[in-house]
Amino acid sequence: MRVLLTGGGTAGHINPAIAIANYIKEKEANSEFLFVGTEHGLEKTLVPKCGYNIKFINVMGLRRSLTLENVKVLYNYIKSFSDAKKIIKEFKPDIVIGTGGYVCASVVKMASKMKIPTLIHEQNVFPGLAVKMLSNDADITAISFSETREMMKAKKMVETGNPLRPNLFKEIDKKALMEEYGFEDKKLVLVFGGSLGAPCINKALAEMLKSSPDFNIIASTGEKNYENTMKYLKELGVDTEKMKNVKILPYLYNMEDVFGAADLIVGRAGAITVSEITALGKAAILIPSPYVAHNHQEYNARYLEKKGASRVILENELTGEVLLKNIKEITGNEETLSAMQESSKKIGICDSCEKIYNCVLSLIK
């Protein structure tokens, strides 16, 4: 099988494409892969790091204001179709898979015009612009959440979930992990704001620790935010070294272990994060980032809230007091915690890559 994958800009678009490629390679070892991205996106480093070839085309999004730069953007977008056509003709793919981002639009649209089977994948509840544009051209539009069906039309829509890393599902020895951190047998809460961290979450965490909460906490502040967080804790008179139930780290290298062991997750509402939460059946408190396109994190968070799997705290409502109150209400009531975990598990999808692979097979065989 010859597979051309395209998607770029952020890790949220690239990692699902890599996960799909890895799964297909596992199933069909002789398959050949080519990624198409842009040189200014994270795909430039992430894709080669995973051992895949990548070619680049020059395309980016329009600026919101009327500027001369948009003339150049439009020119590059028009030119990107001929660049995409050239790459497709040279590689001769059996299928083209797009996972979002501006680069995805011209490549998938051109493949569709060339009568090559196409599949696009949307990671968030609220569909991105590229996927919306392509949904009537692509043979299959794979979605991650059922609610997306109400937000766009497509030639054919299949709910597959988000491709997730396999080691997320490994068995966790919770008792051993708790002993490793020197914790007593209490509820474990994981607090993190994504790989880079979120200052507002770190601030609320610090304020919450003034009250000496009676549950275990492992928090990842993000490396860039660690010093500021520790400085703020000191200003508040909080010494975490003396707190036997709290571990604050700049980065969690064993995130899969802590994620799997946690009773409650507190964090942002990116597509992969909420998919991991539901795949493992975790209860969550989600603080969606307001700094993302189309406010898509709030759509993700509200979807879980509506299903009974999470509580949502908007960033402008977040304080240490509010965070502590919500954590206590969930972890302090076994019935509430169990109900949220069960609701989460009901909407979780653990076999996304297999579902997408089956969609691919339906298009080319």
CATH, residue 277: 3.40.50.2000
Task: Give the residue from 165, 163, 143, 161 showing the smallest Cα distance to 259.
Answer: 165
On whether the CB atoms of residues 247 and 219 are closer than 8 A, the answer is: yes
Helices (H), the chain: 11-27, 43-49, 69-91, 102-113, 129-134, 174-180, 199-209, 226-235, 255-261, 271-279, 296-306, 320-331, 334-347, 352-364
Same structural domain, 96 and 245:
no
pLDDT score of 65: 53
> Concatenated DSSP letters for 152-185?
---SSEEE------GGGGS---HHHHHHHTT--S
Same structural domain, 342 and 359:
no
Same structural domain, 342 and 357:
no
Rg (CA), the chain: 22
Rounded Cα–Cα distance for residues 134 and 201 (Å): 36
Same structural domain, 272 and 190:
yes
Same structural domain, 148 and 209:
no
Rounded Cα–Cα distance for residues 120 and 128 (Å): 11
Same structural domain, 141 and 233:
no
- Structural domain including 63 reads 2-164+350-364
Low-confidence ranges of the chain (pLDDT < 50): 62
pLDDT score of 72: 62
Same structural domain, 121 and 159:
yes
Same structural domain, 152 and 253:
no
**pLDDT tens track for 229-288:** 999 999 999 999 999 999 999 999 999 999 999 999 999 999 999 999 999 999 999 999
pLDDT score of 331: 98
pLDDT score of 68: 60
Same structural domain, 174 and 295:
yes
Same structural domain, 190 and 69:
no
Q: Which amino acid is it at 337?
A: L
pLDDT score of 75: 65
Same structural domain, 248 and 208:
yes
pTM over 0.75: yes
Same structural domain, 172 and 212:
yes
On whether the CB atoms of residues 197 and 220 are closer than 8 A, the answer is: yes
Total of domains in the chain? 2
